[in-house]
Structure 1
Amino acid sequence: MTERRVTVGWAEGLHARPASVFVRAATSLGVPVTIARPDGPGPVNAASMLGVLSLGAKGGQEVVLASAADDAGPALDRLAKLVAEGLEALPDA
């Protein structure tokens, strides 16, 4: 299992629009990824909008991204950057 721990950099946390951007990115990666709050519910499928919203991750909270896929490192790095930096992490933002 490969993991990345990252602090949510979106001021509003992972809800509504930020969660939608995150879920689209997770879906596009082609590897199964979960996201969890160490102090809360989870893990949930990172490609599930309802799952991500159910975490209630707020700005400044830590989340754990994980995958059992052999080639998950680059995918997790990309998602971790998106969670930490928000839209600034997207190439066309």
Structure 2
Amino acid sequence: MSNVPPVNPHALWERARRRFRRVRLTRTLLQLNKESRAIESELHFQRDYLAQLEEQARRRRREITTEHLDICRRLCMLDKQSNARN
């Protein structure tokens, strides 16, 4: 007789099942990492876009404030001219 140990089908099945599970989990982790990187990339893009919009809003607020002050000065001058005529 040879020195080959008897084959335990249950042990073979368990080893194959664990290996398949490890491979499946590894693939799942790789897929999750890929999706995570895509989400991080999109988030970075959205943050940049938001920063641009905030800068545009600040610029526009300054423009509006300047325009408002100009209008107030003109109205004040017109009021003074009107009072000077009367």
User: So what's the TM-score if we normalise by structure 1?
Assistant: 0.18
Higher strand share: 1
Q: Which has the higher helix share?
A: 2
Q: TM-score, normalised by structure 2?
A: 0.19
Higher radius of gyration, 1 or 2? 2
For CA contacts below 8 A with separation 6 or more, give which structure has more relative contact order: 1
